[in-house]
Structure 1
Amino acid sequence: MKVLITGGAGYIGSTIGLACQDKGWDVVVLDDLSTGRREFTEGTTLYEGDIADHALVARIFAEHPDIEATVHCAAKIVVPESVADPIGYYRNNVSKTIELLDSLRRAGCTRLLFSSSASIYEPEPDLTVNETSALNPQSPYAASKMLCERIMADVAAATDLRTLSLRYFNPVGGDPDLRTGLQNPKPSHALGKLVDAYTYGDVFTITGVDWATRDGSAIRDYIHVWDLAKAHVAALEHFDAVCTPEEPYTVINIGTGTGSTVRELVAAFTEVVGEGNLNVVEGPPRPGDVIGCYTTSGLALEKLGWKAELSIADAIRTALEWAKIRPERLGA
Structure 2
Amino acid sequence: MEVLITGGAGFIGSTIASACEDNGITPIILDDFSRGLRSFAARHAYYEGDIADAQVLNRIFTDHPEIEDVIHCAAKIVVPESVAQPLDYYDNNVGKSITLLQELAKHGVKRFILSSTASMYEPGENYMVDETAETNPQSPYAASKALLERVMRDFAATGRMQCLALRYFNPIGADPQMRTGLQDPNPTHVLGKMIEAHRTGGTFTVTGVDWPTRDGSGLRDYVHVWDLARAHVAALQQFDGIMRDAEREAVSEPTGLLNPNYNIINLGTGTGTTVFELVEAFGNATGHPLKFQTADARMGDVVGCATLTGKAERLLGWKAELSIADGVRHSLQWSEKLPEALENEPARATAGS
TM-score normalized by structure 1? 0.93
Map 1:260-271 to 2 at 5 A. 260-271=273-284
Rounded Cα–Cα distance in structure 2 between residues aligned with 1:76 and 1:285: 25
TM alignment of 1:1-332, pairs within 5 A: 1-201=1-201, 204-209=204-209, 211-244=211-244, 246=247, 247-275=260-288, 278=291, 282=295, 284-285=297-298, 290-331=302-343
3-state SS, counterpart of residue 116 of structure 2: strand
CA contact (8 A) 2:159 2:261 kept: no
Q: How many residues align?
A: 331
Deviation at 1:283, TM superposition (A): 6.6
1:216 and 1:232 mapped to 2: Cα distance? Answer: 33
Give the aligned partner of residue 255 of structure 2: none
Distance 1:262 1:33 in 2: 33
Structure 1 residue 210: deviation in Å?
5.4
Matched residues in 1 for 2:284 and 2:337: separation?
22
Helix, strand or coil at the partner of 1:120: coil
RMSD across aligned C-alpha pairs, in angstroms?
2.0
Instruction: Note closer, same or farther for the CA distance 1:75–1:202 as it changes in structure 2 (3 Å cut).
Output: farther
SS of equivalent residue, structure 1 residue 266 = helix
Q: Which amino acid aligns with 1:62?
A: T
Q: Is the 8 A contact 1:208 1:218 kept in 2?
A: yes
Distance 1:284 1:52, change over 3 A: farther
| 2:15–2:175 CA contact under 8 A, matched in 1 | yes
Any idea what SS the aligned residue of 1:118 has?
coil
> Would the aligned equivalents of 2:285 and 2:326 in 1 still touch at CA under 8 Å?
no
- Cα deviation for residue 146 of structure 1 reads 0.5
Distance, in Å, in 2 between the alignment partners of 1:90 and 1:229 is: 26
Q: Which amino acid aligns with 2:306?
A: Y
* Mapped partners of 2:297, 2:93: distance in 1: 28
| Structure 1 segments unaligned to the other structure (5+ residues) | none
Q: Helix, strand or coil: the match of 1:117?
A: coil
Instruction: Give 1:216 deviation, angstroms.
Output: 4.1
User: Secondary structure in 2 aligned to 1:28?
Assistant: strand
Residue type matched to 1:131 in 2? E
Distance in 1 between residues matched to 2:137 and 2:156, nearest whole Å: 23
Q: Distance in 2 between matches of 1:206 and 1:141?
A: 25
- Partners of 1:319 and 1:235 in 2: CA distance: 25
Distance 1:127 1:264 in 2: 16
8 Å contact from structure 2 (residues 120, 146) kept in 1: yes
Give a deviation string over 1:246-291, Cα, whole Å, max 9, x none: 511000111110121122212221232244664656475476x543
Alignment check: 8 A CA contact 1:208 1:216 kept: yes
Q: Report Cα offsets for 1:99-140 as digits up to 9, x if no partner.
A: 111111111111001101111111111000001111111111
Shift of 1:215: 4.0
1:14 partner letter: S
